[in-house]
Amino acid sequence: MTFSRLLNYKYSDTLKRMDPDHLLALVTEVIPSYSCLVFCPSKKNCENVAEMLCRFLNKEYLKHREKEKYELIQNLKNVNGGKLCPVLKHTIPLGVAYHHSGLTSEERKLLEEAYSSSTLCLFTCTSTLATGVNLPARRVILRAPYIAQEFLKRNQYKQMVGRAGRAGIDTVGESILILQEKDKEQVVELISRPLENCYSHLVQEFTKGIHTLFLSLIGLKIATTLGDIHRFMNGTFFGVQQKILLKGKSLWEITVESLRYLTEKGLLQKDTICTSEEDLQDNFHITKLGRATFKGTIDLAYCDTLYRDLKKGLEGLVLESLLHLVYLTTPYDLAFQCVPDWMIYFRQFSHLSPAEQNVAALLGVSESYIGKKASCQAIRKMVDKDIVNRLYLAFALHTLIKETNIWSVSEKFNMPRGYIQNLLMGAASFSSCVLHFCEELEEFWVYRALLAELTKKLTYCVKAELIPLMEVTGILESRAKQLYNAGYRSLMHLASADPDILIRTIDHLSRRQAKQIISSAKMLLREKADALQEEVEELLRVPSDFPGFGTSSFEKA
């Protein structure tokens, strides 16, 4: 069955060139009265489409929820230290915004709330919005049947169009897929075929799947013998699908091979115990390295590399600058995905202090190598690409710790601010993991105090005086600065604050938020006081092994 209709929108020659897909006509049929999502193949395309639509939208759209849109712009500036993306500055007054991973989490939250309250009526977005965020729409438009360069899968398509006419929220919904003639056959198959099968991912990446599972089972003592582990695997989704996923091997063989791998890697130790006269059984227990990896939740693909890096760091740890420690806590997986901008890399290298140059030299990365890469010269000496990439990300993190401003670092390294924030969050999380890793290995005792402080710096990434305020639930950097400048400089100051004075002193602070801040500060203060009280009681308690402890007064006499 074929359905066709004409779009009731007059297109000039200029508009036809700018909007060949007639997106403007499609979106103006529903906005601003109803909401609309336009899925785009890439982040840059999201921004371009948002700007293009706003260029031609009727200026009447400026009057729709004008006050709320002004407040949204002010809130975005507040969370960004006065900064505002020029694209959003242009599009928000017309009720339009883009949504992709290049935004910071604070920006995404504000934009999503504005869309949910109908302050914004149109999002141009990537496929990431299709999962995890409940933002329904009257109309969903897919600009192309692609995510980046890959053709849509059936489940991805269903996730996107499922945003239209969400049950319980809207009574009507429709989706429109724009396609080229060359994609027509594939699209017909896409919308008619069944959903893709669901398969266990335990086998996709063994180090993150089966190997990590086995280490956890043995570390938690859920299953420690070969037989128990095999029985456990029989009850998993992978155990059910094993004959489909790995036809050439039995579940027993996979279990034996995985345990052998962990044993050879030094994470497990095997003992053969005799359960009866004829029955011998393999029993496994976790080694010190295995326990450190397990407690630190370190990806098994990198645990060897991390151990070597920390060991090498002990030989010449540079403490005049944080760069060396930051490098050690830069996530390996992000480094493998990184593509450095060599000119920026070279400029950053030329501004290093002598101590920071020493760090680069210890890692085997020279300024001449970066200079040759920047000028596209031939390089004879081989340098480990992963170390080079990881140091580049460490430069970005180190700059962020010094400047505490995501926007300036984003501009300096030509990276999306959302990426910089994700890098920071990943580094804070990995730093905590490395700290737990080091706590289990006595040889790395020197790192413990250093990493505890670095983890705090990475977690909050603000000037030191703001950290006590940011420990309170709901206080972000911009709010912490407001409070600090208003004289609230400690947890006690916040816990003792008067809500009425707080509201009058701090801009854009509601009574509910003021009460929540004070309540959270009081609770945190009590928790810290209780922890100190327990420490005092522990210090004053008579040791149980003290001579004569527990004997009665009669016996003493």
Query: If pLDDT is split at 50, 70 and 90, which confidence band does 556 have?
Result: very low
pLDDT, tens digit (0-9, with 9 covering 90-100), for 348-375: 999 999 999 999 999 999 999 999 999 9
Query: If pLDDT is split at 50, 70 and 90, which confidence band does 275 have?
Result: low
- Report the candidate in 118, 113, 97 with the shortest Cα–Cα distance to residue 47: 97
φ, ψ of residue 359 in degrees (nearest 5): -60, -50
pLDDT, tens digit (0-9, with 9 covering 90-100), for 161-176: 888 877 666 778 889 9
pLDDT at 100: 92
The Cα 220–Cα 232 span in angstroms is 14
pLDDT, tens digit (0-9, with 9 covering 90-100), for 414-435: 999 999 999 999 999 999 999 9
Instruction: Give the strand pairing for 36-39 and 174-177.
Output: unpaired
pLDDT at 135: 83
Model-level pTM? 0.83
pLDDT at 112: 92
pLDDT tops 50 at residue 480: yes
pLDDT at 273: 62
Q: What mean pLDDT is reported for the chain?
A: 88
Query: If pLDDT is split at 50, 70 and 90, which confidence band does 156 have?
Result: confident
Q: DSSP labels for 43-60?
A: HHHHHHHHHHHHHHS-GG
Can you list the pairs that 281-286 forms with residues at least 24 positions away whose Cβ atoms lie under 8 Å? 281/225, 281/226, 281/227, 282/225, 282/226, 283/224, 283/225, 284/218, 284/224, 284/225, 284/226, 284/229, 284/259, 285/218, 285/224, 286/215, 286/218, 286/219
pLDDT tops 80 at residue 130: no
The Cα 3–Cα 553 span in angstroms is 98
Q: Residues 31, 95: contact at Cβ < 8 Å?
A: yes
pLDDT tops 50 at residue 317: yes
Share of the chain above pLDDT 70, in %: 95
pLDDT tops 80 at residue 462: no
Mean pLDDT of 386-404: 93
**H-run or E-run covering 175:** strand 174-177
pLDDT at 167: 62
> Burial level of 549, CB count in 10 A (0-12/13-18/19+)?
exposed
The Cα 389–Cα 345 span in angstroms is 10
pLDDT, tens digit (0-9, with 9 covering 90-100), for 187-233: 998 888 888 888 888 877 766 789 999 999 999 999 999 889 999 99
pLDDT at 199: 86
pLDDT tops 80 at residue 524: yes
Query: If pLDDT is split at 50, 70 and 90, which confidence band does 553 have?
Result: very low
pLDDT at 557: 42
Q: DSSP labels for 116-166?
A: HTTS--EEEE-GGGGSS----BSEEEESSSEETTEEPPHHHHHHHHTTBT-
The Cα 156–Cα 130 span in angstroms is 8
Q: Residues 434, 331: contact at Cβ < 8 Å?
A: no
| Total Cβ atoms within 10 A of residue 98 | 27
